Structure 1
Amino acid sequence: MRLGDGWEDILPSSYKKKHNIFFLCGDYVGPAVISPKHDSLSVNWCLGDKDVEVLDSSDGRIVDGSPSVSGPDFSSRLCKRALYSYFLRAAEISGKSYLLSLPAYHSVKMEAVAYQSVKDLVKEQFLSNHAGPWNSKRLVDCFSV
């Protein structure tokens, strides 16, 4: 909603489809007694995963006793480094070997020309709508696998 209406006409066709997001409330399924020890726990699972992954959402690390431990140093299968390694496997399988030679995650993101141009448009739209600047996290993107 921060982007406003009517600016979609300047987007490339692959970015024009608008998705409405709906949040549904359900019954509480947590423990009867809440402990501060469990405030930062997070659970993730996707179709095809052997088991759930339980992590401490304050640091992104898998907790001791999690049924699934997939990443090095107890990092989550949902962290940027893991997603980047999945991307590199997909690039290799699809024959996009030039992506494998780029030195870091940030380099791969910068190669995505259409994404970068749309991101620039979104940044401009935020500013023109007085919705605040885009929050950049460039330092966290400077890693390799």
Structure 2
Amino acid sequence: MTYFTQPIYFSSIILGSLYHADHLSRAMYQRLTEIEVLPPSYTLNKPLLSGISNTEARQPGKAPSFSVNWTVGDQGLEVINGNTGKDDLGRPSRLCKHALYTRWMDLHSKLSSTLLIQTVQPRSYHEAKQAAVEYHLAKQALFRVFHKAGLGAWVKKPVEQDQFSLNN
């Protein structure tokens, strides 16, 4: 989405029973304090971090293997098997890359014609992602600070994973 909008930052994050102020702040931003210069629209965000007032007892055990999503305009909740990325009928999630790319291409097409912008239509999901140049510069700065701090390398996905088009 950074192709169309400025970055969006959380102003606060509230965590339930596993909230620990030092651990959460370290995970969210303290490890990044040495980050180099970021592209103009990016900043190191430090949202307000808080826990809920009456925490429930921790329930040890395996986490559930499903996720639930919903956004304004959806007809209902979507329950997805976390192992397969599909619903109980075998359909891919409305949040899968292909579905999001379909929506992105629709928005790209509408904005290009509405704003009379001369842009090249990306031929693949990968090309669309590469068009967000400032995002990639910020991501590279993040990788450098991880490496400099000895936090390891970012795990990369197989290149083929993003090499699809809507014609497939």
TM-score by length of 1: 0.73
Cα offset for 1:14? 1.1
TM-score relative to the length of structure 2: 0.64
Partner of 2:99: 82
* Mapped partners of 2:72, 2:104: distance in 1: 18
Match of 1:12 among 32, 39, 42: 39
RCO comparison, higher one (Cα < 8 Å, 6+): 2
What is the aligned-residue identity percentage? 29
Inter-partner Cα distance in structure 2 for 1:105 and 1:136? 16
- Structure-to-structure mapping, 1:15-94, within 5 angstroms: 15-16=42-43, 18-20=45-47, 22=49, 24=51, 39-64=64-89, 74-94=91-111
* 1:105 and 2:108 are equivalent in the alignment: no
Q: Secondary structure at the match of 1:76?
A: coil
Q: Number of residue pairs matched?
A: 127
RMSD of Structure 2 on Structure 1 (CA): 2.7
| Secondary structure, aligned partner of 1:94 | helix
Unaligned runs of 5+ in 2: 1-28, 57-61
Structure 1 regions of 5+ residues with no counterpart?
29-35, 65-72
**3-state DSSP of counterpart to 2:68:** strand
Please report how far the alpha carbon of residue 87 of structure 1 lies from its aligned counterpart in structure 2 after TM superposition.
Answer: 0.8
Distance 1:91 1:97 in 2: 11
Q: Which amino acid aligns with 1:84?
A: Y
- Hey, which of these two has a bigger chunk of helix by percent? 1
